Amino acid sequence: MGTSRTVDYDDLLLDRQLCFALHAASRAVVREYTPVLGELGLTYPQYVTMMVLWEDPQRSQSVGELGEAVQMDSGTLTPLLKRLERDGLVTRTRDVADERRVNVALTDAGLALRGKAAGVPRAMAERFGLSVAEIRALKAQLERLTTTLSGDARD
């Protein structure tokens, strides 16, 4: 590092790090979701997976499509989907056109759970102590950061 700049060790203070603030906020958010989702019998990763399926409840989606949407690899997603299937919320079937592909679809119980989950976003907004405008602004900033870091903005 051929710069003549003086090293500022204060740059290494934990409370100055964006990465740690994001990490702590993420953990706090998931912790707040836990009791609310527990009433539905879901974990946070299961909830986000179900939200993707609820977007188009009549369409099955491949494990790959779901993984891309929720940003989980198949090694993480497959056991989660097995639990959702065991709980009667989804079905998993091999694709007839491509046996390597597994499709996931909502069951009637999985679709019915959407009605019970409809109040979760509003309940969480109240728990966050932020206005709707603040939530939207924060979400937009985080999406912009994610896009930048994923390389999409550089293409």
For residue 128, pLDDT over 60 is answered with yes
Beta bridge partners of residue 92, listed in sequence order = 104
pLDDT given for residue 4 in this prediction: 62
Tell me: do 75 and 124 sit in the same domain.
no
For residue 24, pLDDT over 70 is answered with yes
Q: How far is CA 135 from the centre of its chain?
A: 16
As a whole number, mean pLDDT of residues 20-29 equals 95
As a whole number, mean pLDDT of residues 40-56 equals 97
Nearest CA among 143, 121, 136 for reference residue 40: 121
Nearest CA among 110, 111, 118 for reference residue 36: 118
What residue has token string 């759970």?
A: 113
- Which residues lie below 8 Å from residue 154, measured CB to CB, with a gap of 6+? 148
**Amino acid letter, 24:** A
Tell me: do 109 and 52 sit in the same domain.
yes
The percentage of residues in the chain with a pLDDT greater than 70, rounded to a whole number, is 95
For residue 76, pLDDT over 70 is answered with yes
Please give the structure tokens belonging to residue 62: 């491949």
Q: Is residue 7 part of a domain?
A: no
Q: Is residue 62 part of a domain?
A: yes
Tell me: do 61 and 101 sit in the same domain.
yes
- Which residues lie below 8 Å from residue 68, measured CB to CB, with a gap of 6+? none
Backbone angles phi, psi at 102, to 5 degrees: -110, 130
Helices within 3-107 (DSSP H only): 18-38, 44-55, 63-70, 74-86
Tell me: do 110 and 131 sit in the same domain.
no
Tell me: do 50 and 113 sit in the same domain.
yes
- Residues 130 and 128: their CA atoms lie apart, in Å, by 5
pLDDT given for residue 3 in this prediction: 58
Q: Is residue 1 part of a domain?
A: no
Q: Is residue 4 part of a domain?
A: no
pLDDT given for residue 112 in this prediction: 98
Nearest CA among 62, 56, 52 for reference residue 93: 62
pLDDT given for residue 94 in this prediction: 93
What residue has token string 């065991």?
A: 86
- Domain containing 132 equals 119-155
Q: Is residue 43 part of a domain?
A: yes
Model pLDDT for residues 84-119, shown as the tens digit of each residue: 999 999 999 998 888 889 999 999 999 999 999 999
Model pLDDT for residues 60-74, shown as the tens digit of each residue: 999 999 999 999 998
Could you tell me the pLDDT band of residue 152, with boundaries at 50, 70 and 90? Answer: low
Burial, 91: exposed, middle or buried (Cβ in 10 Å; 0-12, 13-18, 19+)? middle
Total-model pTM: 0.85
